[in-house]
Structure 1
Amino acid sequence: MAKTIKEIAEELGVSKQAVFKKIKQVPLSTEIEKFISTVDGKKLVSVDGENLIKQAFQRKQKTANVNVDAKDDGKDDGKMFTVGSNAGNTVDGIPFASQERENTLVATFQTAIDALTSQLEAKDQQLAAKDRQLEEKDKQLERQTKTIEELATSLAVAQHTAQAAQALHAGTIQRQIEDVPIIQAEELKVVKETAEKIMPEYEKRRSIFSRIFGGR
């Protein structure tokens, strides 16, 4: 199964940079080229390529171990001591990312990531609270606007009713004023008709009295 450079580096206990530098050196660079492919922007190394990389690092490690043994036997010439003293910690001049150091770095990064995540969550909660406050204010404003509209409608209806009542009252008074002459004329007509009915009877009685008492 193909592996990434990072996965191979973790298995070897070295950094990715050390693996990249190793596979760029001859003869490994020419041997491993056909075993490396790029998928979704990631370099994948086949099993055969992985074995070549590990063999290259094993050869390097063996050389480093020989240098360390030479130092322990007191047979190093000073120069070998200089190389061998760091041989267990470096590969081609690049420091080893030991498992302990890598774990420490991972823990540090994870702590930083957790802290940033907590800050983002807190910010999200603050933004959500502000959104809820804005929604509540919008609802309050909507209710106030609706109340104002209802009051304005009620006021308009009241004004219209008052105007109609005033007009009706004024019209009633006007009609009463206009009807006075008509009423008076009708009353005079009734009086006249009544008088016309009464006068002949009165004249008739007056004539009878005149004849009886000799008055003419």
Structure 2
Amino acid sequence: MFQELFTPSVQHALDLMGIFVFAISGALLAVRKNFDVFGIAVLAEATALGGGLFRDLVIGAVPPAAFTDLGYFLMPLVAAGLVVFLHPQVERIQTGVNVFDAAGLGLFCVTGTTKAYEYGLGLTSSAVLGLATAVGGGVLRDVLANEVPSLLRWDRDLYAVPAIVGATMVVLFIRFDTLNAVTSGLAVVTAFSLRLLALRYRWRAPRAWNRRSEATEE
């Protein structure tokens, strides 16, 4: 579906853009953790490709796109190399990186949902895999870096919720047979905008009611 809405070259360029910005976030975390060059490359690859790899394995799209398109594999290495040599400069444009990361989140939750549906999954399962596509790489990144995944932490701005909203919009469009270039773009923009608003206004998900935990922000 989504693959039919844009030309293959445009779709490929969008995928590479999302992969690149996700890889940047993984490489920056590796630098903060004092990883060596190999560790930086591994974390960049895992962050950029983890979600899509998980989705493709679940739906049976094998071998996964990450192993059939050399560009998908090389783009994280380019991002890692950039961070290795220019990480102080990259850190200074963290706001810009966050914007592109939000764009990648919006794009991947939509493409992940539609690809899962095309492989025969139901609407709910497709939305779940759309979410996994968007956030799976970040979860893998944090696990490899020995951190509690940001996705699960109350002291992090909303990340999964925008992806859930975008994926849900897609399955509703599919359900009512209105998925097209405009509605797909609307889902991407909605997820993207929600993520940016969460960053701007520090929106966070609520915690348990009357909780007893004394946990504080790090």
TM over 0.5: no
Structure number with the higher strand fraction is: 1
Structure number with the higher helix fraction is: 1
- TM-score, length of structure 2 as denominator length: 0.21
Larger radius of gyration between Structure 1 and Structure 2:
1
- TM-score, length of structure 1 as denominator length: 0.21
